[in-house]
Amino acid sequence: MCKKSIIAMIICSMIILTLVSCKHIEKEECMIKALNFAELFDYYLYMNKDGHWYQGNFYSKARSLVSPRSDSFIDFYTEVRFVHSTEEVFRLPTNVIAVRPNPEIVQGIINAMYLDILSEGNDLENTLSRFGLIYPISKENLVEDWEKVRALLTRSEDSGRMFDVIQFARTYNNQGSPLTYALFILFSSSFEEQVLSIINKLGITEDEGAILLRQLGSYDAFVFITTLMLEEGLSFERARRRYERETSSSNVIDYGSLHAQQIIRIDTMLFNS
């Protein structure tokens, strides 16, 4: 065999090994991503061992078993599958890890997702459609479209959004409003009475107050700016600029996410200063 042929065979072998390695890494990353999502949102976890299905909260163990970089790795489990029922679990191959939504919190998660969108002043149906989802969201979406739901909850590269949604769902389940949600994720519901008082003085709705809270992102900023608007008759924009001048640079809020149309609506329709 000539030297060129040997070199060609070596190169081909290296390419094949690289492709196989990449495929394993991609599969591992998909499985880990699925397990992380399911764990965060309190899904039930099912794994088969020695022909028996076990349900539990052993997500750390599951991750170690599917990761080649772990000492506990075994080359057996090939997929994490989202399922609707335990009956579906028992029909799965033994090398599949199954996760199923917890029925006690499903509606709370859906409700929190809605409130997260509404409290930012976004249209519910349009926002969902951007991620391939249709209103109303259902339990089926949390199984069949979990990757779309994950994309929705990580929009704007806000990784904390998923934690906000599940924490609110655990606390309020299917209750709450956009204002309750904004208060919950920004500081504390103990401020609700004070915030409601300010909102009433401004003559805006609770939903509009929630949008303002989310955009300002701070109770201190909210009180400072709305006080200037109420007591000195400043427009929202002028009050915002005063706040930025009178606070240290480390406390200045980034208003880049405040949509121009929302500023116009605040100044002309709501506050009429």
Could you tell me whether strands 52-56 and 79-82 are parallel, antiparallel, or unpaired per DSSP bridges?
A: unpaired
Beta bridge partners of 100: 44
More confident residue, 165 or 26: 165
Beta bridge partners of 82: 99
Indicate if the pLDDT at residue 270 is higher than 60: no
Indicate if the pLDDT at residue 32 is higher than 50: yes
CA distance 171 to 178: 14
Q: What is the pLDDT of residue 187?
A: 72
- 162-221 pLDDT, tens digit per residue, is 999 999 999 998 899 999 999 888 875 667 888 999 999 999 999 999 998 888 888 889
Task: Kindly indicate the confidence band of residue 158, based on its pLDDT and cuts at 50, 70 and 90.
Answer: low
Please give the structure tokens belonging to residue 81: 């599958």
Q: What is the pLDDT of residue 251?
A: 45
By C-alpha distance, which of 93, 83, 153, 85 is closest to 120?
153
Task: Kindly indicate the confidence band of residue 247, based on its pLDDT and cuts at 50, 70 and 90.
Answer: confident
Phi, psi of 96 (to 5 degrees): -105, 135
The CA-atom distances, in angstroms, between 201 and each of 193, 196, 227 are 13, 9, 10
Q: Name the least confident of 45-49, 129-133, 188-192, 209-213.
A: 188-192
* Sole residue written with tokens 């990757």: 147
- 103-124 pLDDT, tens digit per residue, is 999 999 999 999 999 998 899 9
More confident residue, 108 or 265: 108
By C-alpha distance, which of 82, 4, 3 is closest to 41?
82
> Model's pTM, two decimal places?
0.76
More confident residue, 14 or 116: 116
Q: What is the pLDDT of residue 5?
A: 56
Q: What is the pLDDT of residue 83?
A: 98
**CA 24 remoteness from chain centre:** 27
Per-residue pLDDT, averaged over 245-256, amounts to 56
More confident residue, 156 or 84: 84
Task: Kindly indicate the confidence band of residue 149, based on its pLDDT and cuts at 50, 70 and 90.
Answer: very high
CA distance 42 to 170: 10
Q: Is the peptide bond before 93 cis (omega within 30 degrees of 0)?
A: no
Task: Kindly indicate the confidence band of residue 48, based on its pLDDT and cuts at 50, 70 and 90.
Answer: very high
Q: What is the pLDDT of residue 65?
A: 93
More confident residue, 213 or 21: 213
Indicate if the pLDDT at residue 133 is higher than 80: yes
Indicate if the pLDDT at residue 271 is higher than 80: no
Q: Name the least confident of 68-72, 130-134, 201-205, 256-260.
A: 256-260
**73-84 core/surface letters (b: 16 or more CB in 10 A; e: else):** eeeebeebbbbe
**119-130 core/surface letters (b: 16 or more CB in 10 A; e: else):** bbbeeeeebbee
Query: How confident is the prediction for the chain on average, in pLDDT?
Result: 83
